[in-house]
Structure 1
Amino acid sequence: MLSWPPPALWLQEFLADKSQRALLSILAAGPIPQHVAFVMDGNRRYARMHHQEVQQGHAEGYVALRRMLEICMRLGVRCVSVYSFSIENFKRSPKEVEALMDLAEEKLIELCQHGELLEEYGVRLNVVGKKELLPVRVQLAVEKAEHLTAKNDRSILNLCMPYTSRDEMATAVQFAVQEALENDDQDAEITEKDIDAHLMTTLAGSPPLDILVRTSGVKRLSDYLLWQCSENTQIQFSSAYWPDFGLWDFLPILLDFQRKDIISALSFAVEWRKGCPRQNWPRSERYRRGRRKNRERGRVARICMGLRDRLDVILTSRNHIQEVVFNSEWQVYEAKDGEETCKFDRVIKLARERLPQIIGLQELTLESRVKQVTS
């Protein structure tokens, strides 16, 4: 007797991917941060909660990193930085440190051999930190990974390992002083600009930091990007453990960023209409640096579209996703003859009804949304 294959695999993955792409397209219509950083905290607690070895928790954290990197790249985020390993982590048990070094070597080699994600989005990999503290085998893997992605110029992934912000700032000051001495400028004044120019992240080509996210509910920065966070950075703390962190955890953070950005743009528009002198325009540092290509073009369209309008579409599509993808009818159990076939038919019928609505979200153009809002 022929049996139907479980539909909960291929159809669920297909619908989830289409739905996620549609949501990301809607979010991308608004302001997008150019640099997002993550403190990947909670791997060990996640492992203990699921009665797993600590090493397995760190492995699940790598899966979450790939997931969030792809989400950020689809949104158009230019640079992603992650706190992979602190210099202070060398004080952990030798067994855990060795496991982390093994994982780092394994995943760097994997990126070299199967780096489709980095190639698809043109991601250049930078390892930021005191690389000389790493084992030689890991240093070789780092060198190979950086060399293979050196020509990619569309996006940047900074793996901060082993890293602390205090070490980065001390090194930047040292290089700034050394540069002044080499130029025989004894009276040179070391400014913030000089230090900023010698930071490891700046040398790696990273734009100013827009958002920093720490997971696991712990509310401290743990010596990560302290200099970069001092300048118009949105700092967010999420209660989710890093292996569980995903799109729905990142969504409110991104919407909050867009809300603040739109308010700033509206303030700029009001002052401009009043004839305020250019030098007094209330533009954020992000505007002044001109890091965003689409900041001026389409500004009015994005404002008219509005945060609430996008949010309505996002919440509606999320309801469709939950109803279709996570509906109890997806579960296929061992059943009597014919019952499994009927369950499969119901799933197909439901998918046919909902799929056009989900995919139709991708066809929403900015022009049509603006007409709706302004009419």
Structure 2
Amino acid sequence: MDVRQITQVSEFLGGFVRKLMYGILSEAAIPDHIAFIMDGNRRYSKKHNLIDGAGYRVGFLTLMSMLRYCYEMGVKYVTVYAFSIDNFKRNPEEVQSLMELMEEKLERLINDEIIVSQYGIRVRFIGNLKLLSKPVRLAAERAMDATSKNNKVVLSICVAYTSTDEILHAVQESCDEKWRKIGDPDEAFVKFGMLDVERHMYMRFVPDPDIIIRTAGETRLSNFLLWQSSNCLLYSPSVLWPEIGFQHLVRAVFDFQKHFYYLKKQKQAYMKYSR
């Protein structure tokens, strides 16, 4: 048996095992929205003595695998924390290298027939996109345009993003809106509410996450989806992002199903008293 045949057999067995697991998972609630904090790419490079940026390239392949598993499982929304506003404080050469890598991977994402056609993934970029370099911003716009008609899965890529920036932006936009409609600042303040803010959030197009997975054993949200994560499951496997696999995703979903009714009750109570 040659290498090609071994690979085909391995892929067949992997697909068979995944179908079995999906059948088991489908007996309970499947999460609508899973968010990932992709932590550990640089540590992966150091761990394996790889050149700078190699960990991010492996991490991109991992993201493609996670998208595939989520699609097969029936998850409708996937969000990833790709680049924080705080990351701009890193070494300028590293930031430039990451921007170039992001541009390269965006072009690949656009041209990937599996992502665009078979999986039907719609790509959205979330954050203060004005902070991105022009080539990356244009590549992001092309990716959003190329996938705008897809509706099976929504992939939200948070770049130049922090939750505090998102909340500040939403408050400013909603205040401006109230001022334009009412004209009286005192009356505008009295009629200002949570729904006004939520209508202007970057993440307003998708439901709040059911699960947030952060790799590398970290239990901090690091300014990611703070507004949206009050009633979701947090899962922190110890593996670095490029090392996360199907079994970790299954574990997270099992934990979600175990706590589903509690989380649902908490979310309903939050919706009732916050409106």
Structure 1 length as normaliser, TM-score?
0.67
CA distance in 2, matches of 1:218, 1:101: 25
Q: Which secondary structure does the structure 2 equivalent of 1:209 belong to?
A: coil
1:195 to 194, 197, 206: 197
Alpha-carbon deviation of 1:235? 1.4
How many pairs align? 266
Q: Could you report, residue by residue, the CA deviation over 1:13-57 in whole angstroms, capped at 9, with x for unpaired residues?
A: 221122222212321232011111110000000110000023000
RMSD of Structure 2 on Structure 1 (CA): 1.9
CA distance in 1, matches of 2:270, 2:166: 25
Contact 2:110 2:143 in 1 (8 A): yes
> Does residue 5 in structure 1 map to residue 2 in structure 2?
yes
Q: Could you report, residue by residue, the CA deviation over 1:116-137 in whole angstroms, capped at 9, with x for unpaired residues?
A: 2232232210000111111111
Structure 1 residues 174 and 115, CA, compared in 2 at 3 Å: closer, same or farther? farther
1:208 corresponds to = 208
Alpha-carbon deviation of 1:287? 10
CA distance in 1, matches of 2:37, 2:153: 19
1:44 corresponds to = 42
CA distance in 2, matches of 1:21, 1:118: 22
Between 1:95-104 and 1:186-195, the stretch displaced more is 186-195
Structure 1 residues 285 and 142, CA, compared in 2 at 3 Å: closer, same or farther? same
Q: Which secondary structure does the structure 2 equivalent of 1:153 belong to?
A: coil
Contact 1:83 1:159 in 2 (8 A): yes
**Structure 2 unaligned regions, length at least 5:** none
Of Structure 1 and Structure 2, the greater strand share is in: 2
CA distance in 2, matches of 1:256, 1:244: 20
CA distance in 2, matches of 1:31, 1:61: 28
Q: Which secondary structure does the structure 2 equivalent of 1:85 belong to?
A: strand
Between 1:24-33 and 1:133-142, the stretch displaced more is 24-33
2:259 corresponds to = 260
Q: How does 1:74-113 map to 2 (within 5 A)?
A: 74-113=72-111
Q: How does 1:60-139 map to 2 (within 5 A)?
A: 60-139=58-137
Q: Could you report, residue by residue, the CA deviation over 1:319-340 in whole angstroms, capped at 9, with x for unpaired residues?
A: xxxxxxxxxxxxxxxxxxxxxx
Q: Which secondary structure does the structure 2 equivalent of 1:228 belong to?
A: coil
Q: Which secondary structure does the structure 1 equivalent of 2:182 belong to?
A: coil
Contact 1:86 1:161 in 2 (8 A): yes
Between 1:77-86 and 1:10-19, the stretch displaced more is 10-19
2:232 corresponds to = 233
Structure whose CA Rg is larger: 1
Alpha-carbon deviation of 1:59? 0.5
**Structure 1 unaligned regions, length at least 5:** 266-281, 290-375
Residue 156 of structure 1 aligns with an amino acid whose one-letter code is: V
Q: Which secondary structure does the structure 1 equivalent of 2:203 belong to?
A: helix
> Does residue 171 in structure 1 map to residue 169 in structure 2?
yes
Contact 1:128 1:161 in 2 (8 A): yes
